[in-house]
Each structure stands twice: as structure tokens, then as C-alpha cells.
Amino acid sequence: MTTDLSRRSFSALTAAGATSAALAGAAGTAAHAVGPSANLASTPGADALQSSMDAMNGNPLHGSMVSVRGSYGFVDLASGQQSRAFRNAIRVNFRARISSITKPMVATVVMQEVERGTWTLDSTLDQFLPGLWPGRGKVTIGQLLNHTSGMPCHLNDFMTAANPTGQVIKAVTDNRYTHADHVAQAQRYEWKFEPGEGWAYSNTGYVVLSMLLEKVTGTEIGALLRQRIFDKGLNQTRLYNSRRVDFEEIEDYHLEGDQEVRLNDLDMSIFSGSGGATATAADLTDFHHLLMKGHLVSQDTVDQMLTPVGAAVEAGYGYGVFWIDDVWSGSGKLFGHDGGGFGSTALSLTSRDGRRRVSLTFAGRAFDEDGFTATQEGMAKVLANAFAISNGTAAGRVRVLSSAGATSRAFHADARTRIG
């Protein structure tokens, strides 16, 4: 059940203002732990990667995990502490909230249903959930997948309208929500454009996709992802629409200037299929191996997921996956997704053949400009060192560009403010 507080928090705070949410984090004490799969002696460049991770602790993160796979080396590393409230060093088998990296997982299951003949990308909302959104029943599954539907977002539109403080965010995220709650919240906002005529990131679109999957499979979205994806080898990845924690989990912190808010009771039902999963960094690199090698859907379907069409071309966004220029090797493209929660961030990238893969999870997220800038600069160095290992190049020789070299792309333009 949705509590009175949660409804009151979402409904009453849709007044004025704009929010600033950084792809960054909160400060903490530097420490690091190296997991059993990290072999610093035999993996060239691992020391440089570890140092760049350690340098981010207190500036402004409190911890991170990185997983690297490539023909020339592999390593899983952790740095920092599990929480700002107690000194417990992060290990590589800890889970972090991965936010919108959940989206390519949900998109994969949607595409599995395309392959099964359940629906097509041109199937409409009203065909499967008639009356869910009056007047918008002709929105297609494909438009929901690539954010060209024009559907409002229950999270980002709320953040923009309410400009909530960290304490308000804590109150909002401490409560349980249903899919119907999210749709009702999104319906408070104006539809952004006619379906197919623009591009706008919508977490609610992926909540609706979760509802569609539950309707045709008869299985709750978290259990469905576990059956179709997590049980294929992602042993520490879960999606619970609750506060449930199965393994050691890194805590989220919301930081704005000198204000820090511990989000230790965050209920992931606020995201559900739009960003509710938790995972290790290694599970994220393994997910992209499974996807790119055709173990989850056919290679033709993978190509379809990776190819932007129509209004999504400018954003570089396919069906649940974006692409960026591979500035670290100097040619080609990388594919993946990022995630921005209320107190953590994540990024996972892969080459098309799945051989070169890098995943990052950062503990803490700053809402101020300085914190965002510091995190972007630190992340660029971590990415450079990670891809130096994956590509087999000497650390420090890879060009360092913030926002994965794609800050001008429509999808990355709002990285500092976007939730999900």
C-alpha cells in the first residue's frame, strides 16, 4: 500500500522551481579493498586505476566499484567505505543501486517478447492495457522503449516542479509505491509532444513497460527479470520493489553544499522497472557480455536495440541502450547506459562484440555544481585508466573526456539534473 505520506509528498510538492541533481556523490574517507578477482600483479594499469578511484573519495564520493574486461586484461576493484555513518570498506562483491542501467535489462525482456510474437514494436498501449492513459492509447511499445512517446516522467517532472530538499527526498523515497501511483503522478504533467515527434527521457515509460510485461507474462517484474536475465549468471543482481536487501549494499547519500542526507531506507519501488535494480559492477559487465554475445536475444535483435531510429537518432538512443563515440580507442562506438539515483550513480559501457567492457558504480551524489564538476573530472580519469586496461594501452595515454565524450548529445545534456 502507498502511505499517506508518500502521496502527500509527491502531490504537494509539484509547485515551483527547478532541481539540480549531479552525476556525482557525497564525501567520505579514503579506503580501498581489492576483491579476489582483482590481480594487481598481473594486470597492467590496475594500480593506476585504483589510484584514480581512491582520489575520488572525499572529492566528493565515499566509495566506488569498477569492473573491467578486455582481451588484454581484467580486474574488479573497490574503493572507499560502505557508508559515511560507519567505517566498513567496500568490497567488490558489494551491491550498489544501478538506477537506469535497469532499463536495458527491461528492454531486453521486452524484445524477448517481440521474438516470441507476443507483440511488435508497433503494438499500442491500448492493445494490452486499455484505458491506462486516456487519449494516449496509441503510444507504441517502440516509442516507450526509445523515449519518443512524449510521456511525462513521474520522477524528473516532479523534481523540476518541486525543487525538493534532501530531507524531502528522504521522505519521498522512504515510502512504498505501486505502478499505478507512478502513472497517476505522471498524469499530473503535460504530455511533452505528439508520439514519435520528439525525444524526452521518461522513467514512467519504463514503469509502463513493466506493467505491460507483467500483464502478458503474469509475473511480477522483479521475478521476471530474475528468471530471464539475472539467473543467467548475474548472481548478485536483484530488483525488489521494496527496501529488501539480500547482500552487502552500499548506502546512498544525497549531498548539496555542506548538507548531506543519508538515504539508508530508500524504497526501490520509487523506480521499479525504470531503475530499481541493485548489482555489483562485475554483474554489469557480465550482463553486457550476455547481451552482446546473443545469449539473451538474437544478434539481429541486439542490432535493432543498438540502432536509434526516428526522433531518437539525435539522442543516440536505441531501444533501451545509448551509444557514444569510443574516444578511448580512437574509433568506433561503445554502447550501454548510465544511471543517476537520488544518492548514487553508475555507468556501464561495452564494445559491440562484447570483448571490451567497463562498469562503474559511485556511492553518493552531489546536487551542487562544484560536486558535479569534481565527480565528472574524477570519473573521466577512472574511465581512462579502465579502458587503458581493457584496450591494452598504457595508463595515461588515453584521451580523457568528461561525460564519456558525449556531452553535446541530447541524452547527456541533462546529466547533472536527470534522475533515472
> Are 381 and 402 contacting, i.e. CB atoms less than 8 angstroms apart?
no
Residues 193, 194, 199, 201, CA torsion sign: positive
Q: What pLDDT is recorded for position 165?
A: 85
What whole-number distance in Å separates Cα of residue 105 and Cα of residue 210?
A: 11
Query: What SS3 class is residue 9?
Result: helix
Question: Rounded to two decimals, what is the model's pTM?
Answer: 0.88
- pLDDT per 10-residue tile (average), the chain, 420 residues: 34 29 28 39 81 91 96 91 91 96 98 98 98 98 98 93 87 92 96 98 98 98 98 95 75 88 91 96 98 98 98 97 95 96 96 97 90 92 95 59 42 69
What whole-number distance in Å separates Cα of residue 173 and Cα of residue 9?
A: 10
What whole-number distance in Å separates Cα of residue 398 and Cα of residue 222?
A: 38
Cα angle at 153 between 147 and 155, to 5 degrees? Answer: 130
Residues β-bridged to residue 70: 73
Q: What pLDDT is recorded for position 72?
A: 81
What whole-number distance in Å separates Cα of residue 35 and Cα of residue 202?
A: 36
Residues 112, 134, 180, 12, CA torsion sign: positive
For residue 358, the one-letter residue type is V
At a CB cut-off of 8 Å and minimum separation 6, what does 214 contact?
220, 221, 224
For residue 101, the one-letter residue type is I
What whole-number distance in Å separates Cα of residue 165 and Cα of residue 188?
A: 21
| Cα 242 from chain centroid (whole Å) | 18
> Are 222 and 240 contacting, i.e. CB atoms less than 8 angstroms apart?
yes
Q: What pLDDT is recorded for position 245?
A: 60
Q: What pLDDT is recorded for position 12?
A: 35
Q: For the chain, which domains are there?
A: 4-405 (3.40.710.10)
What is the pairing mode between strands 344-350 and 333-340? antiparallel
| Phi, psi dihedral angles at 46 (to 5 degrees) | -65, -35
